[in-house]
Structure 1
Amino acid sequence: MFVVSLTYKVPLAEIDRLAPAHMEWLKACYAEGVFVASGPKKPRTGGVIIARCSRDVLDARLAADPFAKAGAADHDVTEFMAKMTAAALAAYNEA
């Protein structure tokens, strides 16, 4: 699995302009089964995505993010192995 940390590089007005396209991109990634969870950081300096796929698939999806295409956000990717999960997330346990 992967944790993706997005960091905004432009003013929030530009992020807000791109947000509808970003939300459609997120929905498509969920429909493909690539993303597990996502949401904004607090304070609103970027976002976080939890993904479950191969690195090649993730890199391709992140390159298609409207935020990335517009140069509005950087994506920092950390791979991890979920050795323990809450019962509700047992399907994501890689132990």
Structure 2
Amino acid sequence: MFILSLTYRKSNDEADKHMEPHMAWVKEGYAKGWFLASGRKVPRTGGVILAIGERAAIQAYVAADPFTVHGVAEYDIIELAMTTTVEGLEILKR
């Protein structure tokens, strides 16, 4: 499992200019079965995505995010070897 933590490197106004294509990219990540949950950080300094899949594929996908392409945000990709979950969240152990 991966935690994709993105931090804005540009203003929220600049992020808003690229939000529509970024959200299309996020929706495609869900369609691929890689993304499990996502949302904004509070305060709004970036966001977090919970993902599963192969590291190389996730890294390549992150590189194609419009936020990455336009220098709006930088990603920190954290890999976890999840060992324990509550019932119903076993998918996180992948």
Across the aligned residues of Structure 1 and Structure 2, the Cα RMSD in angstroms comes to 1.0
Q: Is 1:78 equivalent to 2:63 in the alignment? A: no
Deviation at 1:43, TM superposition (A): 0.3
Paired amino acid for 1:71? G
For the residues of structure 2 that align with 1:78 and 1:90, how far apart are their CA atoms?
Answer: 19
Any gaps of 5 or more consecutive residues in structure 1? none
d(CA) in 1 for partners of 2:9, 2:92: 32
Query: What residue number does 2:12 align with?
Result: 12
Percent identity of equivalent pairs? 44
Match of 2:70, as an amino acid? A
Given residue 24 of structure 1, which amino acid in structure 2 is its aligned partner?
Answer: A
How many residue pairs get matched? 94
Structure 2 gap ranges (5+)? none
The aligned amino acid for 2:59 is D
Aligned position for 2:52: 52
Aligned partner letter, 2:33: G
Q: TM-score, normalised by structure 1?
A: 0.94
